[in-house]
């Protein structure tokens, strides 16, 4: 109150639109952009602090937060790493790097055909406020397996299906 003595004070209410450029709202040091309003005017605040011992500092900045349309993407790097290092392909032989890259391309094509608004998020990311995960629908899995059917052997298809069933989430 001492910092604002002589200023007109009024309550502001969050509009629910927040943005964390570093991804995590759980990090007490992360910068946040928070959209607030007083019933007549909407403002954008930048929240930060110089150290954990200091209180948050809020400043009004020019701009507005726009709600981006949701989009779907696969975790290509994580999928590739899991397929190369951790997944047991038995009884099939492990896929080589080109085959894994091709599978990921087919997976991306299947996911791109899905309406992001219909893919309801089932789990939030622990590291990025802007990311959540959704489960693959049986239609997407069937489409992906159909795409793979023309390019992989029966044993590889069986292993790929086991891989998909064991990793059913995609990032949104």
Q: What is the pLDDT of residues 92-128, one digit of tens each?
A: 899 999 999 999 999 999 999 888 878 777 787 777 7
CB 44, CB 61: distance < 8 Å: yes
- Round to whole Å and give the CA distance between 50 and 62: 21
- Identify the domain boundary among 38, 61, 84: 61
What is the pLDDT of the chain when averaged over all its residues? 86
Does residue 21 form part of some domain?
yes
What is the DSSP-derived secondary structure letter of residue 99? Answer: H
Between 125 and 74, the higher pLDDT residue: 74
- Round to whole Å and give the CA distance between 47 and 58: 5
The per-residue pLDDT for 70 is 81
> How is residue 148 written in tokens?
């793979």
The per-residue pLDDT for 23 is 65
What is the DSSP-derived secondary structure letter of residue 125? Answer: -
Tokens 């007083």 belong to residue: 38
Q: Indicate if 88 and 129 belong to the same structural domain.
A: yes
- Mean pLDDT: which of 22-26, 61-65, 77-81 is highest? 77-81
Q: Indicate if 107 and 135 belong to the same structural domain.
A: yes
| Domain limits for position 131 | 76-171
Mean pLDDT, to the nearest integer, of 38-42? 88
């Amino acid at each position: 109150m001492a910092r604002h003595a002589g200023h007109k004070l009024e309550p502001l209410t969050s509009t629910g639109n927040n943005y964390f450029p570093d991804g995590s709202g759980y990090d007490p040091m992360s910068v946040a952009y928070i959209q607030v309003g007083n019933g007549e005017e909407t403002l954008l605040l930048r929240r930060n602090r110089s150290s954990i011992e200091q209180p948050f500092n809020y400043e009004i900045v020019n701009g507005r937060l726009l709600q981006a349309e949701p989009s779907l993407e696969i975790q290509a790097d994580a999928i590739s790493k899991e397929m190369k290092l951790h997944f047991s392909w038995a009884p099939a032989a492990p896929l080589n790097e080109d085959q894994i890259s091709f599978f990921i391309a087919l997976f991306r094509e299947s996911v791109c055909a899905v309406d992001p608004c219909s893919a309801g998020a089932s789990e939030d990311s622990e590291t990025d406020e802007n990311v959540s995960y959704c489960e693959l629908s049986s239609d997407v899995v069937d489409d992906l397996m159909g795409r793979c059917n023309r390019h992989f052997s029966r044993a590889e298809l069986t292993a790929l299906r086991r891989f998909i069933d064991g990793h059913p989430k995609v990032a949104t």
